[in-house]
Structures are given as structure tokens and as C-alpha cells.
Structure 1
Amino acid sequence: MKITRRNLLAASAAFAVTPALAQGAKNMTLVVPFPPGGSTDALARLLQSHLQTKLSRTVLVENKSGAAGSLGAIQVAKSAPDGATFLVTFDSHAVIPSILEKPGVDVEKDLVPVFLVGTAPYVVAANAERPYKNFADVVAACKKNPGAVKYASVGIGTLGHLAMTVLGKKAGVEITHVPYRGGGPAMNDVLGGHVDMIVGSAALITAQLGTNMLRPILQMGRERMPVLKDTQTAIEAGFPDFETLAWWGIFAPKDTPADVIAAMAKSVKEILSEPAVATQLQETQQMTLLLADGKAFSTFFAKQVGIWGQVVRENNIKA
């Protein structure tokens, strides 16, 4: 290859990005603010294995659940801004400021958006032994016996919980919310028949469809997903322009150097752009990969804070 000034500059830039993450003596920790078993945990563990290989550095996943995801966020916010600690989190992160009276972390000031991985529609599914075939059946049951129908979510303030609150209000019914600290515990209780239904990301719901123990009854994307082609959308069910998407993203402590942020975003984008990895997320997590860097993620995140914060306030939801 002919050595040119352009080639040298490109090589220097590539070299400058990698050491920002790889040269640290500390292990890298990916903090997940939910228990093992959910979609966020699965994403973190996927990244863990690939980052270890890519950076030649030990990468750990630590599950720090509780307080609507704020405990994990607080831990990362208080960590040294040296590229050793990152938060891999879920959509409820945008609701922390509005749902907690004293959150202990300012999600817009104490943490820096690094990378927006992707989105997936929320889905409502019922224990297969329950009589609900669609959302209209749920509404009818709630009108007949207010408060008797119970649904699980992956936590207070997750978009699934807020979406069900809005749907119940629009339908004029009360659907009893049973919050859990993550997707694994919530799903276990629905499959066990302790709760009638669950609202969760498509990633969480579709993983159980082959068991014949769960029946999807509503999806919240604008169009039906191929894997749920027989399940109506909320728009089709009579809720115009209603859409709720789960999302997954990565944050770092404030004051983390810009080159470290860029290096992490670059590494994650390269990993998730690999065809085998992208296919895995698309098929097992039902994700639409966005692969957006910090600037685009910041804009997206600010909108999420505004939209769902308003829902929290209007319905007086508290953790």
C-alpha cells in the first residue's frame, strides 16, 4: 500500500481512539440497573464478550437493580470518569426525574449519553390459560370487574407501565399494575399464573412464544412485526396514533473525556454492526438498530424525558 499523508492521518486517528479504552489498568464494568434475565442484561452480556476481545481488557457486568433503575444510575454517576464504568440501561432511565421525589441522580447532568443501540415495540401478552384473545377482551373484563385484571411490568415508570396507564385511561377502565424489578421476575410470575398479563418489550415477550404458555394480544408499534403478524397494533385496536417503543442505551459519568466517549461509541457500533451480532439482536430481541452516537442520542433522550415525564405528572405516578 502506498504511504500517503491521508493514510498516516487515518491510522493515527484509529490508534488514538482505541487506547482511550484499552490502556486502562482497571477492569471495565457495565452496570445494568435491573436483575439478570431481562433484555437489558442480555444486551450488556453480549457487549461484554465482544468488548473483552476487542479491547483486550476484562469487562464485567454488574446488576444493580432497584428504585426504578436509579440505583444503578447513581452508582455510575458517582464513578470515576475514566472509561472504566458505563451504564447499560433501558427506557425507564428517562422517567427517573419525574417519578422519584428524590432520585439521587440528575440523569441529564450527571450522566453523558454515549450510544443509543435501538428500539423495539412494547407488547402486551396474557397467560395462555386466561380468556383474553385481544385487548378488547381485557377492556370488557375490566369493565365487568374493575381492578380484577392484573398485569406485570418490568418496573414502575418503565414505558410499558406508562403506556398501559394511558391505554387504560383512554379505554375508561382500571387495569391493576403489578411492578417487578426486571423482565425475568415479571415473566416468571405471568407464566406461573400469578399475574394475568405482562407488558414488556418485544424482546422479552417473543422469547416465550414457543412455550405455548403466553398469548400476545397487543403490540404498540405502528405496524405489525412479522413475528407477531396475527397480533393487532394499538392503533388497529382503536387508539389512534398510539405508539410506544422500548429503547436501550449506554451512558457514562459526567466529565468522562470526549475521546473516551467517542472510543466507546465507536467500539460498540463496530460490534453491533457485525452481521452476525446485528442479526442476533434483530431476531432474538426484535430490535430495530439505530446505532446512534452521543449527539443524536442526547436529542432523542431529551425528547423521551419530556414526553413521558408529562404522562407521569398527569397521572400522579410515583415509584
Structure 2
Amino acid sequence: MNDYFDDLDDNVDLSWLQAELEDAIDEDYELEFSEPTLSMELRELYKKEHPQSIPRRTYFKQLLMLQTELIKLQDWVVASGEKIAILFEGRDAAGKGGVIKRITQRLNPRVVRVVALPKPTEREQTQWYFQRYVKHLPAGGEIVLFDRSWYNRSGVERVMGFATENEVESFFQQVPEFEKMLVNSGIRLLKYWFSITDEEQQLRFLMRIYDPLKQWKLSPMDLESRVRWEAYTKAKEETFARTNIPDAPWFIVEGNDKKRARLNCIDHLLTQIPYQEVESERIELPQRIFHPEYERRDLPPEMFVPNKY
């Protein structure tokens, strides 16, 4: 399955891919519209620290091929009743949201959903720690992507002092058994950690500070995480040491290059699940019913959105 798009037959009609490429590239341009708002010094610094990444057209060609496989995976999950949970962890600005967006971009939200929980309520704080995550786990025929997960306890909650050492230790003792229970129940559990360097996070935070379209992504907690970089590193190392179990191992995605990180993560994800292409019935577009005596009503002009563009 690793070679599903490496050797394309020259005789295959890829006109559909060309059309999708043009559409997808427009999105990439849109994502980069904010670059002029950055200072020239910051742009030059970012370019200096980031050699040329994957060419845009190459990136989108690979991404679209991978997204085609994700659709096959989705169809297989629905047909087989499989249950898949994927955790995305990492430092702030590491690229978790970017890869989640590319995974879900062309999939059915009734099958594939994203869970990004806010801070626990007062009631949830009195519950068993894992309880609020359990209700979001996948049922048969579902894929759930956790944008941060129960590992908040060993990461941000521990570093920021929201959890006591006893609570953290209890978490470490329970989480291997909890994840074994999930796997034994039939859930396929994947855990990804997006890794970036100290310098890369600093640059991405600066990009957000000076970009008015991205400032909303920065919270006081994010800024505090810069101060506590080493504490987060120690917390990450202990998390790996105590929760990297055979039933649910960790996979680290090198995230300094966003485009490569997205492609590598999606490609790896596909290799971890033994999906197969599901045959579907050919879809025929039915003829609409036509009544020659019917006359369409004219609607008042104030009901229409103005054609401003």
C-alpha cells in the first residue's frame, strides 16, 4: 500500500486530478494571503530558517492522492463497522490542526468527526478523569480525531499546575490499562505527537503575533508555554516513557516543515489500518420530473443576496 501513488500509469486519465489541483492551489494561496501583513524582517527570517519546501503543485498532487485513499478508508470503516480513534498531541503551533484539516477536508462529517474539548466544567472536574473523553469515542463505522486528548493531564495540566502530582501519577498508572481496554473493545487507537524545535515554535508564535488573521490562535496559555519550554519537554519525555505501550504506541511526526508533516502523517496513518477498497454500485443520475404547465414564481429582489463580486 505504500506505493499506491508512486507509479501512475501514463494511460490513466488524470483530468480530474488536474481540476482538483487547480481548486486546491487556490486554497493554498488563500492561506498565504496574510503573508504581506508580516514585517519584511520577519518574512526574511522565516525564509532563512526554512529552505524551500515541497513545490506547491507536487505537494497538492501528493495530498490529493492521499485524500483519495482516506475516502477509501472511510468507505471501508462504514462497510466493516470498524472503530478508529486517532490522538493528535504536541506543543502549541506544532501543526496538529493543519493535518486534521487536511484529513477531514474531503471526508463525510457524519463518519469522521473532530473532538477538541474545552477546559472541564465544575461537574466534569468531579468525575473520573477519563469520563468526559469516553462519551466521544467512536461507535461502529466512525473515525474520531482528538485534537488534544486525555494526555492533557500529563502535559498542560501538569506543567501549568492544574493537576497535582498525585493526580498525574494516578493518570500514568491508569492510562495504559485504559488504552488496553479500548483496544480490546475493538477500537483501533493511534497516537501522534507533532514535534517542532524551540526555534520553530518561536517563529510560528511571532507569525501569529504579527498576523492579524492568526492572532486569535494565541492564548495566554500559549504564551506561557514558551516560558515553560523545558518543563513541557520533561513532561513529554516521561509521557513517552510511561505510555508508549505495545497496544497503543506513540508515533512522532517531525513538524518543522508543515507540508511534509501533513503528508508523512497521513501516509503513515493509512499504512496502520488494513483497509480495502469497497465496491459500490454505479450511480445513475435520474431524470427529473417535468410538468409543462408549471410556471415558476418570480421572487422579490430583496430576497436575493447582492451580486457584489
Alignment TM-score, normalising by the size of structure 1: 0.28
The structure that is helix-richer by fraction is 2
Structure with max Cα Rg: 2
The structure that is strand-richer by fraction is 1
